[in-house]
Chain A
Amino acid sequence: GAGVSQSPRYKVAKRGQDVALRCDPISGHVSLFWYQQALGQGPEFLTYFQNEAQLDKSGLPSDRFFAERPEGSVSTLKIQRTQQEDSAVYLCASSKTGRALHGYTFGSGTRLTVV
């Protein structure tokens, strides 16, 4: 597609519920990043894929967070047993190459609200 697509756009989850957030990167983009953006804050790194390989997951806040990109294109971020502190906008970004000299293209994000 022309841009990075994220779905759903909005998600309301009850505390303790599992959620899955989807990211469709630009076709052919090698690198894919997930960020968490709390209200009024900058994006915080969660995890990074190069093709299907998860090269860095150091930003995942707990073992309730899990991300995958099994075929090197679409990625899913899963949050188990959601907590109120998980409420944030989850942003996905992709880049054509690992070096990303042309920058990163971001999706519009998924706004997760845990009630």
Chain B
Amino acid sequence: AQSVTQLGSHVSVSEGALVLLRCNYSSSVPPYLFWYVQYPNQGLQLLLKYTSAATLVKGINGFEAEFKKSETSFHLTKPSAHMSDAAEYFCAVRASGGSYIPTFGRGTSLIVHP
């Protein structure tokens, strides 16, 4: 069984400030982890993924995430927020073997203030 918890349904930051979106996972086997971004009225776009290689993963648009097995976390960060980063962000987990079906979190809405 696998699940994802995203802490905070809304995160508000000022333009230029650090972005931190939290994701904790539960998985009975080594996980693969993903972060997706969804802009209004659009589908989900892959930001980055962890598939058991380097624990610090760099993605598109300046985002990165670190896999911490001891904390069962995969938090998403960006050093400096842009207005264009305002969107909904989803963390997802799936097992590295067996079922290849990803399970998504409930999402975190990132609000960026000028």
B-contacting residues of A (Cβ < 8 Å)? 4, 31, 33, 35, 40-45, 48, 56, 91, 93, 95, 98-109, 111
4 A-B pairs closest in CB distance = A106-B43, A42-B104, A106-B44, A103-B46
Alpha-carbon distance A101/B100, docked complex (angstroms) = 10
29 contacts between A and B (CB under 8 A): A31-B100, A35-B104, A40-B107, A41-B107, A42-B90, A42-B104, A42-B105, A42-B106, A43-B44, A43-B90, A43-B104, A45-B103, A56-B101, A91-B44, A93-B44, A95-B100, A98-B100, A100-B94, A100-B100, A100-B102, A101-B32, A101-B51, A103-B34, A104-B34, A104-B44, A105-B46, A108-B43, A109-B42, A109-B43
Beta-carbon contact of B100 and A42 below 8 Å: no
For A33, A104, A108, the residue with the greatest tally of chain B CB atoms inside 10 Å of its CB is A104
Alpha-carbon distance A45/B102, docked complex (angstroms) = 8
Contacts of B28 in A (CB 8 A): none
B77-110 contacts to A, CB under 8 A, are 90, 94, 99-107
Beta-carbon contact of B101 and A42 below 8 Å: no
Contacts of B99 in A (CB 8 A): 56
Among B6, B41, B94, B100, contact of A108 (Cβ-Cβ < 8 Å): B41
Total interface residues on B, CB under 8 Å, equals 23
Q: How far is the CB of A47 from chain B (nearest CB, A)?
A: 9
Beta-carbon contact of A4 and B43 below 8 Å: yes
Beta-carbon contact of A33 and B101 below 8 Å: yes
Contacts of B90 in A (CB 8 A): 42-43
Question: What is the chain A residue whose CB lies nearest that of B49?
Answer: A103
